[in-house]
Structure 1
Amino acid sequence: MQEHKHFFIGGQWVEPAGTGVIDVISPHTEEVIGRVPDGTNADIDRAVAAARQAFDSGPWPRMTPAERAAAVGRLSAIYAERQQTMADLVTAEMGSPALFSVFAQAAIPQMVLQYYVDLAGTYTWEDERPGMLGPVTVTREPVGVVAAIVPWNVPQFTLMLKLAPALIAGCTIVAKPSPETPLDTYLLAEWIKEAGIPDGVVNIVPAGREVGAHLVAHAGVDKVSFTGSTAAGRAIGAVCGQQLKRVTLELGGKSAAIILEDADLATTIEGFKLASLMNNGQACAAQTRILAPRSRYDEVADALAAMVGGLAVGDPADWGTEVGPLVAKRQQERVEGYIRIGQDEGAKLLVGGLDRRGQDRGWYVAPTVFGDVTNDMRIAREEIFGPVLALIAYDDEADAVKIANDSEYGLGGSVWTADVNHGIEVARQIRTGSCGVNLYSLDPNTPFGGYKNSGLGRELGPEGLAAYLEHKSIPRPA
C-alpha cells in the first residue's frame, strides 16, 4: 500500500494542517491500496501563498518562454521514460483497463506536455501592429496563479490539459486532484521536483469538494480551470463571474454517433469499442447515443449487442480486459439506477443490464445496450458515465442531425460513413466542440471543449495556451 503523509507545497513535502486522511480504494478488490492526507482550507491557503509568492517574486514568470520550455522539456523527458509506472498506478486507482491506461492515462498526457514544450518556440508571444495613431506592441503575459481542479476519470490527462499550457505561459499552479485518484499526482510531484521546476510553481493538495470550493473562491487565485460535472461547473462559474475571475470549464456530454446509410458496419461497430466505451464508459466525450437509420436499425442492433455482449470484463490490470470496474460504489449504484430507469421508460434491453457478468467483488456494471430508445428518454438526455449505450432510430439525414443536436450538451460527436467528405459535411452541422468522422479522438494540436452546457473555453492547441495569457497593448507615438 502506498502511504503519503505530506503535501507538495512550495517545492517541499510539508506537514498537513489537519489530521484527516483519504483512503484510496481499489475498484477491483474494494481494498485500500493507498492513503494520503485530506487537505483543509488552511492547506489550500498555504499552497496559494506559495504559488502567489512564486508568481509575484519568483523567476518563473520572468523567464523567457524558451527557458520555461527547457524546464518543462526536462519534465516531459522524465515522463516519457516512466509512462508505464504512471499507467499502472492510474489503473490501480480507478480501474481503467491496462491497455487504455498505457495510451490515455500516460502516453497522451506526456504528448500534451511535449506539445506545449514545442509550441513555446513557435507561438507569437509579442507582435507589432500598425495602430490608427501610431505603432502598437501587443504582448502576451501569464494570467497569474491558476487553480486546477481535476476529476478522477482521466486524472493525468485532465491535469496536463491545465498544467502544461499554464507552465509554458509562466503561470503558477495549485492543483486539487480528486479524492479517488490522488496517488498519481504524488508521482508527478516527484518528477516535477526532479526536473528542477522552481519551488512554488506547482503545488498539489488532494481534498474534497468543500475545500475545492475554498480554492475556487480564494482571493489569491487569478484563474480557475475545472473539469467535471455540469452542476459543479455552474457553481464554479457563478463564483468566478462574481469575482470577475478567469475561468475554463470542461463539463459533461451526451455525444451522438451517427451511422449513415453507407457505413461499413463491421468497422463502425469495432470503432465504438473506443469511441463509446472508452475507460469503462467513464468519459465525458463518450459516444453514448448511437443513431442508426431505420433501414438498417435491426442490423445495427444485432451487431452492437453482439459486440458489447462479447467484451471481456474483469481485472483492469489484465491486458486482455476491455471493460473494468467503475471508480466507486456510488458510481456503480448510479449507473445501475439508470439501467432501471431505461427499463421503466420502455426501452428494450438488448444486452447487459443488472447481471454483473459474475463479478461478485468490485464495482462492476455489465456493458449494456438499450434499443427502441427515443431522444426524450432520460437515458438519452442525461450523462450516465458508465458502459450504457442508447440506440436511437432516425428517418433521414436531416432527422439524424436534429436528434444529435437536440441535447443540452455539445461536447463531442461522430459520423460514420463510407464517404469521408460527406461525413465532414454532416459533422459541420453538429453543434459540438468536436465531431469525428469514422472515429472519435482528441489531438493535442487542436482545441477541445464544448458548446452549450458542456462548458466554457477550450483546452489543447494554441487556444489552450491562450487561455492562460493576458494580452497587453503598448501604443506609442508615430
Structure 2
Amino acid sequence: MSNSYDAFYIGGKWAKPASSSRFHLINAATEEEIGSVPEASNADIDRAVAAARHAFDHSGWAALPAADRAAALKRFVAALSKRSPDLARAVSSQNGMPIGLSQMLEGQFSIGLVDYYAGLATSVQAEEKRPSQMGTETIVTRRPIGVVAAIVPWNFPVTLALSKIAPALAAGCTVVVKPSPGTILDSYVMAEAAQEAQIPAGVINWVAADRDVGAYLVAHPGVDKVAFTGSTAAGKLIARTCGELLRPVTLELGGKSAAIILDDADLNAVMQGLPMASLLNNGQACYNGTRVLAPESRYAEVVEALAGLASSLVVGDPLDPATHVGPMASSAHRDRVESYIAKGKTEARLVAGGGRPKGQARGWFVQPTVFADVDNSAVIAQEEIFGPVLSVIKYKDDADAVRIANDSAFGLGGSVWTSSRERGLSVAKGVFTGTIGINGYLPSIGSPFGGVRGSGLGRELGPEAIDGYLQYKSTYVFG
C-alpha cells in the first residue's frame, strides 16, 4: 500500500487537486512521516459536491431498485474484505489504535456494518398505502434525501465513515466524505475498494480538508444533509449552520459516560470488561465510561483494583499485538490530555499513572491514569478528556449512583456492573443516555446508536439510521 497520493476520489475517478497544499501524515508512535496526500480547497469541494449531485440527479442510483443497490453494497463488502489488513494497519499507524482493536473494529466490524445495510436495503418500502380518516387512503412515499456531507473524525475513521456511507447508499443517497486531517490514508483504501466494486461514479467521493474547508462543505448549497461525528463544540457550530439553512443533520458528539459498579459486582469480572467499556482506543472513544461510580462500602477495594488494572496495561507500539494502550493521536492532543491530568492533581488523589511511560522516548504516549476521591463537580469529572484517564466517584446507594450518572452535560454511553441482571436493568433504566450496557459495553450494528443532551442529535446504526437519509411524502387520496 502506497502512503503517498496525488489525487482525490471524485466522480469515480482520481482527480487532481486544485492547489498544491498537502497533508503530511505522522505515525503517532514514532513521530515519523508515513505519507502525504492533497489538501482540498473550496474548489475541490465544489467538484465533489457537483459529482455527487450529478450522480443523484442523473445516474439512476436514487431510482435504482433496492436489490441492485444491495448488490452494489455486497460488491463493496467483498472489496473491503480483501483490504481488511490494510485498513487496520493504516489506522493504527496514524492514530495509535492498538492493532488488535483496529483489526476487530476498523477491519471487521466496519465491513460487517456495510454488509448489514446491504441486507437491509431491500426492506425499505418506497411506497405504502395507509387508511385515511378523511379520504379514501393516504399513499406514503419514501425517497432518498439527496447529497450527504459525511464528516468523519480521526478516532475510528473507517467505522465512522462507513456508518454514514452504508445507510446513505442503502437509501439511495450519494455522499461526499471529508476525513479528518489526522487519518486519511484509510480513506484511499476505501476509495480503491469502491472503485473495484464498481460503485457508480459520483455516488461516493472522498476529499480530505481542514476545518475551514469542512465548514464550506457543511454550508454548500448542493448538500441536502450533513452527518457528523466529532466534538460537541464542533457539532454546535455545524448545528448552527444547518439550523439557519433548515438542513437535516445527524450529530454524534462527545460524552462523559458513567460506569456504575454496584455493590454486588464481581470485581474480577469488572476489571476484565472495563478496558473495552472505559479505556477503549487509548481512551479516545466518545462513549468511554471514564467516570467510574463506586459504592461507599467497596470504594477502597474498587480504587485499588482500578489502580492495579491501569498499572498492568501494556503501553507501547500500536502495531505490536501485545499492546493494550497506544499513543495519543497527535502531539496537540497529548498536550490536551496532560493538561487535564495536571488539573486532576489539584482536584483529586492520583492513584495510578499521571505521566508519560518510561522507555518511550518517541511517540505521544500517556500513562493510563486513575484519580480517586473525585467529586462529580470536578473539571475532570465533567469535561471530556478523550484520553486514558479515569475518575472514581463515590456514591451511597443505587438512587445516588443514578443521580450522579445523570449529573452531566452529556448522555452518550454508560455501563452497569452487577451480579443481578434485573438490578442492573433497573439501574440502567434510570440513566439518561442514548446507550448503556449491562456487564459490558460495545455498540451493536443492528441497534440505534447516539446520544442525548450534549452528546448529539439523531441516530446511527440499526434500521433507524436509514430513516435519517429518507424524505417522506404523503399523498391524500379522496376519490
1:78-477 aligned within 5 A: 78-132=79-133, 133-345=135-347, 347-477=348-478
Instruction: Note if contact 1:105-1:154 (Cα within 8 Å) is conserved in structure 2.
Output: yes
CA distance in 2, matches of 1:391, 1:104: 28
Q: Provide the rounded CA distance (Å) in 2 between the counterparts of 1:353 and 1:256.
A: 21
Per the TM alignment, residue 397 of structure 1 is displaced from its structure 2 partner at its CA by 0.7
What CA distance in whole angstroms lies between the structure 2 residues aligned with 1:11 and 1:474? 36
Do the aligned partners of 1:357 and 1:366 also contact (CA within 8 Å) in 2?
Answer: no
Q: Tell me by how many angstroms 1:477 deviates.
A: 2.8
Query: Helix, strand or coil for the counterpart of 1:117?
Result: helix
Write the distance in 2 (CA, Å) between the matches of 1:124 and 1:428. 33
Q: In structure 1, what residue type is equivalent to 2:159?
A: F
Give 1:356 shift: 2.3
One-letter amino acid matched to 2:222? G
Decide whether the 8 Å contact of 1:275 with 1:286 is kept in 2.
Answer: yes
- 1:207 and 1:395 map into 2 onto residues whose CA distance is 49
C-alpha displacement of 1:147: 0.1
Whether contact under 8 Å (1:280, 1:386) holds in the other structure is: yes
Query: What's the offset of the Cα at 1:403?
Result: 0.2
- For residues 176-213 of structure 1, what are the alpha-carbon distances to aligned partners after superposition, in whole Å with 9 as ceiling and x for unaligned? 00000011000100100110110011111001000000
2:180 and 2:208 in contact (8 A); partners too: yes
Aligned residue runs from structure 1 range 39-58, under 5 A: 39-58=40-59
Q: Is residue 86–residue 189 contact of structure 2 (8 Å, CA) maintained in 1? A: no
Q: CA deviation at 1:365?
A: 0.4
- Partner deviation per Cα, 1:68-108 (whole Å, 9 max, x = no partner): 01101110122223312211111111110010001112211
What is the RMSD computed on CA atoms of the aligned residues?
0.9
Which 5+ residue runs of structure 1 have no aligned equivalent?
A: none
Q: TM-score, normalised by structure 2?
A: 0.98
In structure 2, how many angstroms separate the alpha carbons of the residues matched to 1:249 and 1:384? Answer: 19
What is the identity percentage for the equivalent residue pairs of Structure 1 and Structure 2? 53
Residue equivalent to 1:2: 3
Distance 1:103 1:26 in 2: 20
Structure 1 length normalisation: TM-score?
Answer: 0.99
Q: 1:128 touches 1:138 (CA, 8 Å); kept in 2?
A: yes
Provide the rounded CA distance (Å) in 2 between the counterparts of 1:121 and 1:200.
Answer: 22
Query: What does residue 63 of structure 1 align with?
Result: 64
Letter in 2 for 1:249: L
Q: 2:305 is matched by which residue type in structure 1?
A: A
- Quick one: distance in 2 between partners of 1:194 and 1:355? 44
C-alpha distance in 2, partners of 1:302/1:348?
12
**Aligned equivalents of 2:17 and 2:192: distance in 1?**
18
Contact kept, 8 Å, 2:299 with 2:394, in 1: the verdict is yes
In structure 1, C-alpha distance between the alignment counterparts of 2:221 and 2:9, rounded to whole Å: 21
Contact 2:356/2:365 (CA < 8 Å) preserved in 1?
Answer: no
- Shift in Å, 1:466: 0.2
Residues in 1 aligned to 2:78 and 2:443: alpha-carbon distance in whole angstroms:
22
The one-letter code matched in structure 2 to 1:460 is L
SS of corresponding position for 2:416: strand
Task: State the Cα distance separating 1:359 from its structure 2 match.
Answer: 1.2
SS at match of 1:140: strand
User: Deviations for 1:425-445, whole angstroms, at most 9, x for unmatched residues?
Assistant: 111111000010000110010
- Distance apart, 1:476 and its partner CA: 2.0
Residue identity in the other structure for 1:476: V
Contact 1:413–1:434 (8 Å) recurs in 2: yes
Write the deviation string for residues 189-245 of structure 1: whole angstroms up to 9, x where unpaired: 010011011001111100100000000000000000000000000000000000000
Deviations 1:318-345 (A, max 9, x none): 0000000010000110001100000112
Aligned equivalents of 1:477, 1:450: Cα separation in 2:
41
CA distance 1:85–1:355, shift in 2 (3 Å): closer
Deviation at 1:136, TM superposition (A): 1.5
Residue deviations 1:302-331 (CA, integer Å, cap 9, x gap): 111001101000000000000000100001
Distance apart, 1:270 and its partner CA: 1.3
- CA contact under 8 A between 1:17 and 1:40: conserved in structure 2? yes
In the aligned structure 2, how far is the partner of 1:65 from the partner of 1:357?
55
Structure 2, unaligned stretches of length 5 or more? none
Residues in 1 aligned to 2:257 and 2:14: alpha-carbon distance in whole angstroms? 42
**Cα deviation, residue 122, structure 1:** 2.6
